[in-house]
Structure 1
Amino acid sequence: MAEPTTDADGAEDTDAAAARARKEKIGRYVFAFLFPFVMTVMMVGGYLGAMHAPSPKDMPIAVTGPAATAQQVAGAIDAADPDAVDVRIVGDVDEARAAVDARDVAGAVALAPDGASATVYTASAAGASQASTVTSLVVPPLVAEGVDIAAEDLAPLPQHDPAGLAAMFMTTGLILAGYMPLSLALSNSPDLLRLRRFVPVLAGWAAVCSGVVWLIAGPVLGGIEGHGAAVFGIGWLAVFAVGMVQLLFTRFLGPLAVLLGMLLLMVLGVPASNLAMSIHTMPSFFGFLHGILPTPATGEALRSVLYFGSVGVGGHLVVLAVGALVGLAGTAAVDALRKRRKPDAAPPQVTMPSLTGSATAPRPAVRYAVLGMFPLTMVALMVALMTAGMYKPMPREVPVAVVATDQAQAEAAASGLDESMSGMFEFSATTSVDQARAAVAGRDVVAAYVLPSAESPSAELVTAGAAGMSQQQLVARTFDQVAQSQGVPLVTSDVAPLSGEDSMGTVAMYLGMGWIMAGFLLAMVLGNAAPDLIRLRRFAPIAVAWGIVMSAVVWLIAGPIVGAVSGHFLALWGIGALAIAAVALFSSVFVRLLGIIAVIPIITVLMFLGVPASGGGVSVYMIPELFRALHAVLPMPAAVESARAVLYFDGTGVGGHLVTFLIWGVVGIVGAAAIELYRSRRDRGEKEPELEIDTPQQEFDPVP
């Protein structure tokens, strides 16, 4: 006979339940702040640490020609910068060309039989920055040796992808499709992660995502032409391989597996990919990762098919296939071991029945459909917007000042240049060199072209490298040709050169990305892990405090730890704190309305539209009109331009960007307040008790 439960036993159970609830609440709070902290630190530290100042290290270069001359030239190239190059002598021109085509070397020098001339072979499709680096390494020693130089690009980039970025954005989309759905499925539909069910689901998912990525990059945007079957096959294998490995990570780490996936696939995978920057300019550790991670394997396989006639694709496919097999075998082994230890273990529970924030769980079919459409929409938007914004940079109305000693001469020269380059540049005329230089330094114009005069027989091109490397390279190429056509020498001057620790001008972009990420990640994670903290009265001070702390953390990484930034603490700290708080407040509105699905509009506005519009990667004068218009209103461009102004332009123009942050923050506050007011009134209406009307009762005398 069971003993009756006493009041004391009930009180103990209640206390234990309360203690468990407190621990669970504390755990959710810790996770809500720790997750965005780790993500931000990981992304900013990883990208800045690897890519803030790329420099060649053991870049392989082949030399061929008469034995004695080849040895002499190889020695001269090596002596010019021994740490930068790894010079090897090959048998003949065909072998040198084949090595470049197979990407076994970054470039080659083929000496003529008399040793008086040479051809420098590069492959722009293997990386435009790598080709220019090869040229900068080999041309000066050849000139010093008195060798006449010709250049040949063995794999030029096609006109439909002049920057070679299509493969990079396709790779990013495919990798995202592989790892993103796992953490969602674990919370929303854990039954799909059973191995026997997951493998066919993943196979179908990989086919859908690969087809969507190819459709957007190819037929829709025109970033690639042809190779449909090969691109689809590579995409399918990439998504399947990443998904299988991510499943194995999920078995060990649960929802935190997304952090390990981000670390390997994005933080380490992107610098190791050889897509954005040459792998030979990254720290040596990334050279090892280049041969084993799926991100570089996917990118190099696509590049092989698109630009090199599939030369070298096999090795990269092997990396992906091995990854898929390791994930499959590893997951099967883990499942078997756990089943042996706990044969009666309960299946994982659904912890997030609705991804849309609904209080009621949808039917399984609806739940699965939403689970699939969520990451598929993210992949499609990322590939479409990032590719459309950056893959085909075209100069449009780039402002350039033309300077001459006489106003009429300056106007005539500007008019002539405008006729020959209609639409590309917007020319203005002036007679003051000082005013023109001030306009360049103030970023009112991209460059100033100073015509030769009696006092100065050379033309001069004045630029500001810190305002954007892509636009500086554009005007340098253009006006070098202009000077040659005019038959005058050209000298260049840089009124705002990039620092040695920011040789590509990307530090401002990574600072801005860190600020924006810290803001929206806080709102997204807090809104789902600790929803009681997302109410405006609580969240507003949290967002401000978070901005103050995380802005200091981002500066600490960029400055003392990585060495990409020197000084400017107070300015960058204040700007970053405002940017983070404003983005967090704005993002909280979508989180309140949509739940975890809010990640779609938040990241679309702040990153997928914001990064191309920022001018951090491609000049704002070289992107489509939509993104150029967004440059003036989105937080990401404001963050990049603010950081750039502080680092290189004495803070000129920061005020307008601070206003942008304030507007976004105020919009967030007003939106959150409106949501709370509406819901408060709705809830009061639902809880309003029905009015009871007292009706008088007639009294009757009892019947006698």
Structure 2
Amino acid sequence: MSSVSAVSRPALRHVLTHLVTPLLMCLGMGIAYLSAFHAPAPHQLPVAVVGQGPQAQVLAQTLKDKAGDGLDVTTAADSDAARQRLLDRDLVAAYVPDADAPTLLVATANSETSASAAEKVFTQVAAHQGKPLAVQELTPLPAGDPTGQGLFFLLVALSIGSYGSVAVLGAAGAALAMRVRALLGLGVALVVSLLGTALAGPVFHLVDHGLLGVWAMSWLYSAGIVAIGTALHAFLGRWTTLTMMALFVMLNFTSSGGIFQPELQNGFYRALHSFWNGAGFLEGVRDHVYFGGRAGLGGHVATLFGWLAAGAVLLLAAARTERKRALAPALAPAPAPAPAVVPGAEQAAEQPADRSVEQLAAEAAEEEMEEAVGV
């Protein structure tokens, strides 16, 4: 009975240790998603009232007073100026207070949820005039993505393909030099980006033009994630998967602007949106596909390059760390002489031990990959 307990205790400890990852993921995902998406409310949502006369000024000031911090209300000289600001993504909506047909100008490709929030506000304004609100869309979306949120799910697919490959490169590829793993990572990112672009374009028609730019940003985005993950594996080992989930799922998807723009989220996620790689990719693709690259595309591409550069720096640090680890046994003091043994017995004794170490390492790598796939 005692022998059974002696065997079962290490096995039980092993299982419980591996259960820590999914339980921490449950906690982290719950906190991240619920804190990011519960009770969305406008915070300085940029809208405009079209007109130069006192009527437009009074309406804008009235809306600002009633909404408080919820709306950032300005005026636009005319409809053309309002359209320009919408296409530059400086506005979410612009209200034209026509006495006969009040109209709301929107660019849904910027954010469908933000446009809907603005429409609710100005529907009430038009109702006070006793008129129905007409909505004019400035950025028609493709039939394959009528809400404009399909690009968010492209982001999800690219992210999963990228961080899911890290466990393989880090665990199964541990025997390879870091530069080889880095090159393999670039190749994996290329394949992931090509798959994502094909799905977004000819397969599901989320994007009907500009596929070359979508592919280039997809590759940058994926390469940054793979580089960071491959490097972190040298330091974190089996905890890399959980770390990647935190960085590129919990904090990434929630701050990307795919569901809610930062104006509908709390300050923490609004801050992340300004520099996180998922937001850089998603907003960059939106700018490129729907707004002709006129609304800050360069800044979003720079964000993606910044994350890739961070990955390159981490890869250099990881390579240096692995070199030091490899040299450590050679620099260690020589062990004391072993007792004499019968010739041939030492080799027979060492071989099973060597095989055992190799087998344990292979099993650990296999467990890590299975855990990553399960995630």
Short-chain TM bin:
0.7 to 0.9
Query: Which residue of structure 1 lines up, in the alignment, with residue 315 of structure 2?
Result: 331
By how many angstroms is 1:328 displaced? 0.6
**CA distance 1:119–1:52, change in 2 (3 Å):** same
**Cα deviations by residue, 1:446-472 (Å, 9 ceiling, x for unpaired):** xxxxxxxxxxxxxxxxxxxxxxxxxxx
**Cα deviations by residue, 1:311-365 (Å, 9 ceiling, x for unpaired):** 33222111110000011123313543664x65604799886647997xxxxxxxx
For 2:220, what is the secondary structure of its paired residue? Answer: helix
The alignment status of 1:216 with 2:199, answered yes or no, reads yes
**Cα deviations by residue, 1:90-110 (Å, 9 ceiling, x for unpaired):** 454333222222222211224
Query: Which residue of structure 1 lines up, in the alignment, with residue 84 of structure 2?
Result: 98
The code of the aligned residue for 1:52 comes to H
For 1:239, what is the secondary structure of its paired residue? Answer: helix
**CA distance 1:342–1:148, change in 2 (3 Å):** closer
For 1:103, what is the secondary structure of its paired residue? Answer: coil
The alignment status of 1:86 with 2:72, answered yes or no, reads yes
**Cα deviations by residue, 1:456-510 (Å, 9 ceiling, x for unpaired):** xxxxxxxxxxxxxxxxxxxxxxxxxxxxxxxxxxxxxxxxxxxxxxxxxxxxxxx
**CA distance 1:198–1:91, change in 2 (3 Å):** farther
CA contact under 8 A between 1:186 and 1:255: conserved in structure 2? no
The alignment status of 1:265 with 2:251, answered yes or no, reads no
Query: Which residue of structure 2 lines up, in the alignment, with residue 609 of structure 1?
Result: none
Query: Which residue of structure 1 lines up, in the alignment, with residue 63 of structure 2?
Result: 77
CA contact under 8 A between 1:73 and 1:145: conserved in structure 2? no
Which structure has more RCO (C-alpha within 8 Å, separation ≥ 6)? 2
CA contact under 8 A between 1:188 and 1:355: conserved in structure 2? no
CA contact under 8 A between 1:118 and 1:149: conserved in structure 2? yes
Query: Which residue of structure 2 lines up, in the alignment, with residue 238 of structure 1?
Result: 221
Query: Which residue of structure 2 lines up, in the alignment, with residue 68 of structure 1?
Result: 54
Query: Which residue of structure 1 lines up, in the alignment, with residue 159 of structure 2?
Result: 175
Query: Which residue of structure 1 lines up, in the alignment, with residue 21 of structure 2?
Result: 35
TM-score normalized by the length of structure 1: 0.44
**Cα deviations by residue, 1:26-64 (Å, 9 ceiling, x for unpaired):** 763342221111011111222122213222222111233
By how many angstroms is 1:177 displaced? 2.0
The alignment status of 1:131 with 2:115, answered yes or no, reads yes
CA contact under 8 A between 1:202 and 1:243: conserved in structure 2? yes
For 1:66, what is the secondary structure of its paired residue? Answer: coil
The code of the aligned residue for 2:72 comes to D
CA contact under 8 A between 2:173 and 2:181: conserved in structure 1? no
CA contact under 8 A between 1:108 and 1:120: conserved in structure 2? yes
**Count of residue pairs the alignment pairs up:** 343
Residues 660-699 of structure 1 mapped to structure 2, 5 A cutoff: none
The code of the aligned residue for 1:49 comes to S
Residues 375-394 of structure 1 mapped to structure 2, 5 A cutoff: none
The alignment status of 1:596 with 2:345, answered yes or no, reads no
Query: Which residue of structure 2 lines up, in the alignment, with residue 184 of structure 1?
Result: 168
CA contact under 8 A between 1:64 and 1:109: conserved in structure 2? yes
CA contact under 8 A between 2:142 and 2:207: conserved in structure 1? no
For 2:294, what is the secondary structure of its paired residue? Answer: coil
Query: Which residue of structure 2 lines up, in the alignment, with residue 157 of structure 1?
Result: 141
Instruction: Tell me how far apart the structure 1 counterparts of residues 145 and 221 of structure 2 sit (CA, whole Å).
Output: 22
The alignment status of 1:300 with 2:300, answered yes or no, reads no
Instruction: Tell me how far apart the structure 2 counterparts of residues 52 and 81 of structure 1 sit (CA, whole Å).
Output: 20
Residues 530-541 of structure 1 mapped to structure 2, 5 A cutoff: none
Residues 518-597 of structure 1 mapped to structure 2, 5 A cutoff: 528=367, 596=370
Query: Which residue of structure 2 lines up, in the alignment, with residue 492 of structure 1?
Result: none
The code of the aligned residue for 2:82 comes to A
CA contact under 8 A between 1:187 and 1:350: conserved in structure 2? no
Query: Which residue of structure 2 lines up, in the alignment, with residue 120 of structure 1?
Result: 104
Query: Which residue of structure 2 lines up, in the alignment, with residue 314 of structure 1?
Result: 298
For 1:82, what is the secondary structure of its paired residue? Answer: helix
Instruction: Tell me how far apart the structure 2 counterparts of residues 180 and 68 of structure 1 sit (CA, whole Å).
Output: 58
CA contact under 8 A between 2:170 and 2:234: conserved in structure 1? no
CA contact under 8 A between 1:190 and 1:349: conserved in structure 2? no
For 2:68, what is the secondary structure of its paired residue? Answer: coil
**CA distance 1:149–1:129, change in 2 (3 Å):** same
For the pair shown, which has the larger CA radius of gyration, 1 or 2? 1
Q: Percent same amino acid among aligned pairs? A: 24
Instruction: Tell me how far apart the structure 2 counterparts of residues 324 and 311 of structure 1 sit (CA, whole Å).
Output: 24
By how many angstroms is 1:145 displaced? 5.9
By how many angstroms is 1:239 displaced? 0.5
Instruction: Tell me how far apart the structure 2 counterparts of residues 282 and 318 of structure 1 sit (CA, whole Å).
Output: 24
TM-score normalized by the length of structure 2: 0.80
Query: Which residue of structure 2 lines up, in the alignment, with residue 275 of structure 1?
Result: 258
Gaps of 5+ in 2: 1-5, 331-356
Gaps of 5+ in 1: 1-18, 358-527, 530-594, 604-704
CA contact under 8 A between 1:294 and 1:319: conserved in structure 2? yes
**CA distance 1:307–1:350, change in 2 (3 Å):** farther
**CA distance 1:160–1:338, change in 2 (3 Å):** closer
Query: Which residue of structure 2 lines up, in the alignment, with residue 201 of structure 1?
Result: 184
By how many angstroms is 1:158 displaced? 2.0
For 2:208, what is the secondary structure of its paired residue? Answer: coil
